């Protein structure tokens, strides 16, 4: 099917006869493969008598050779379809894969966000990106790492025509109240000694419709008004990650604390911090030198951290 998709990706009309000749199959077999493309990948294909078949919109697929030639020297794997790029990265670690390496996919069938939420992942529209790093030397290199990744994503988005993007503690990138990117970090090994961390990043790039998303969202295309080259975005994001991670490893999170706070959309806002069935109401003061959230609660500053916390604006904000 993907060979057929590569023939159609230019968005032009192709006759069934020409497609069959190129693939070495009958026109009826071409028709069956087209039906599978629509059903399995959710693609829309126009069928016009006398003209042939045309994708509703051209596709630019991810290309590992293009990315490898321009991005930092991380081995790159591009998958057509996977449960999730983080899950694939974790499997590769278990099989002895040598970090750093990068896993990308055209779509995820079980994409995951924080707290077990589904990450909607249509084919060839967005960025599903997992970078694996080996961490030697203990917890200091993990302090505030998800926030560091957020800064890298933010800069990449701004360089791709989304100047109003901002951060939400701990792992979201928003435009106003709409989510445009999310981050999911997963650890394997001993954080006090040697471990691997998977930096999972999902960015809404060219998506314009998504009925399955259960929250407000936007995309680079909706914000900028134009389609983006996802290969170029992978390169830009990788360069930003490389630069920010090097600063973090050399000097710790404290050198990036002020920059992160300056880009936090909810700074000084009344919020509710949710942890399971409990809720803490307060006002965002910022973050500390380790990336934990600082809240003013009943006139007293308190600090919160943890992967299962969720921050929401209060109704009185």
The CATH number that applies at residue 289 is 2.30.30.100
Question: Is 91 annotated as catalytic?
Answer: no
Model-level pTM greater than 0.75? yes
Residue 47 is assigned to a ligand binding site: no
Tokens of 222: 């909706």
Task: Say whether both 132 and 208 belong to one domain.
Answer: yes
Question: Is 226 annotated as catalytic?
Answer: no
Task: Say whether both 178 and 272 belong to one domain.
Answer: no
Higher pLDDT pick, 135 / 112: 135
The mean pLDDT of 269-273, rounded to a whole number, is: 95
Which pLDDT score is estimated for 283? Answer: 96
Q: Give me the CATH number covering residue 143.
A: 3.30.930.10
Task: Say whether both 169 and 247 belong to one domain.
Answer: yes
Residue 218 is assigned to a ligand binding site: no
Task: Say whether both 216 and 294 belong to one domain.
Answer: no
The mean pLDDT of 27-55, rounded to a whole number, is: 86
Task: Say whether both 222 and 273 belong to one domain.
Answer: no
Name which of 113, 117, 253 is nearest 184 in CA terms.
113
176 — pLDDT class (breaks 50, 70, 90):
very high
Task: Say whether both 106 and 253 belong to one domain.
Answer: yes
Task: Say whether both 224 and 99 belong to one domain.
Answer: yes
Question: Structural domain tally of the chain?
Answer: 3
- To 10 degrees, what angle do helices 145-159 and 230-251 make? 140
The mean pLDDT of 179-193, rounded to a whole number, is: 91
Interior/surface letters 269-295, b for 16+ CB within 10 angstroms, e for the rest: ebbbbeeeeeeeebbbbbbbebbbbbb
pLDDT at 317 over 50: no
Q: Give me the CATH number covering residue 27.
A: 1.10.10.10
Where is the domain boundary, 55, 85, 100? 55
Where is the domain boundary, 220, 235, 261? 261
Q: What are 42-74's pLDDT values in tens digits? A: 788 888 888 989 888 788 899 999 999 988 789
For β-strands 270-275 and 278-287, DSSP reports them as: antiparallel
Which pLDDT score is estimated for 118? Answer: 60
Tokens of 212: 């399955």
Q: What are 90-124's pLDDT values in tens digits? A: 999 999 999 999 999 999 987 665 555 666 778 88
Task: Say whether both 103 and 173 belong to one domain.
Answer: yes
Lowest mean pLDDT among 181-190, 217-226, 303-312: 303-312
Neighbours of 250 (CB within 10 A): 8
Tokens of 7: 């023939």
Of the candidates 168, 179, 221, 230, the residue annotated as catalytic is: 179
Residue 296 is assigned to a ligand binding site: no
Task: Say whether both 73 and 214 belong to one domain.
Answer: yes
Residue 226 is assigned to a ligand binding site: no
Task: Say whether both 182 and 299 belong to one domain.
Answer: no
Task: Say whether both 302 and 185 belong to one domain.
Answer: no
Residue 97 is assigned to a ligand binding site: no
Question: Is 114 annotated as catalytic?
Answer: yes
The mean pLDDT of 264-293, rounded to a whole number, is: 93
Range(s) of the domain holding residue 45: 2-55
Residue 77 is assigned to a ligand binding site: no
Of the candidates 134, 140, 312, 314, the residue annotated as catalytic is: 312
Strand partners of residue 129: 104, 201
Task: Say whether both 178 and 243 belong to one domain.
Answer: yes
């Amino acid at each position: 099917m993907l060979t057929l998709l590569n023939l159609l990706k230019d968005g032009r009309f192709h006759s069934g006869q020409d497609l069959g000749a190129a693939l070495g199959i009958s026109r009826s077999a071409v028709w069956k493969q087209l039906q599978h493309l629509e059903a399995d990948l959710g693609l829309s294909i126009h069928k016009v008598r006398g003209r042939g078949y045309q994708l509703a919109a051209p596709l630019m697929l991810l290309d590992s050779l293009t990315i490898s030639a321009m991005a930092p020297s991380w081995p790159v794997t591009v998958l057509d379809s996977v449960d999730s790029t983080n899950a694939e990265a974790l499997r590769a670690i278990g099989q002895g894969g040598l970090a750093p390496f990068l896993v990308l996919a055209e779509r995820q069938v079980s994409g995951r966000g924080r707290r077990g939420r589904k990450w909607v992942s249509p084919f060839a529209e967005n960025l599903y990106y997992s970078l694996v790093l080996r961490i030697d030397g203990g917890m200091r290199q993990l302090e505030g790492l998800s926030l560091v990744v957020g800064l890298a994503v933010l800069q990449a988005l701004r360089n791709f025509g989304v100047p109003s993007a901002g951060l939400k503690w701990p792992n979201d990138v928003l435009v106003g109240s709409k989510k445009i990117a999310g981050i999911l970090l997963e650890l394997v090994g001993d954080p006090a000694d040697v471990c691997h961390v998977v930096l999972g990043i999902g960015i809404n790039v060219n998506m314009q419709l998504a009925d399955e998303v259960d929250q407000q969202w936007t995309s680079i295309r909706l914000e900028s008004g134009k389609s983006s080259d996802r290969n170029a975005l992978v390169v830009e994001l990788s360069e930003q990650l490389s630069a920010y991670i090097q600063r973090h490893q050399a000097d710790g999170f404290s050198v990036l604390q002020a920059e992160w706070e300056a880009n936090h959309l909810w700074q000084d806002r009344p919020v509710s911090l949710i942890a399971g069935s409990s809720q803490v109401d307060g006002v965002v003061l910022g973050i500390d030198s380790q990336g934990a959230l600082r809240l003013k609660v009943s006139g007293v500053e308190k600090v919160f951290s943890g992967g299962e916390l969720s921050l929401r604006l209060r109704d009185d904000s």
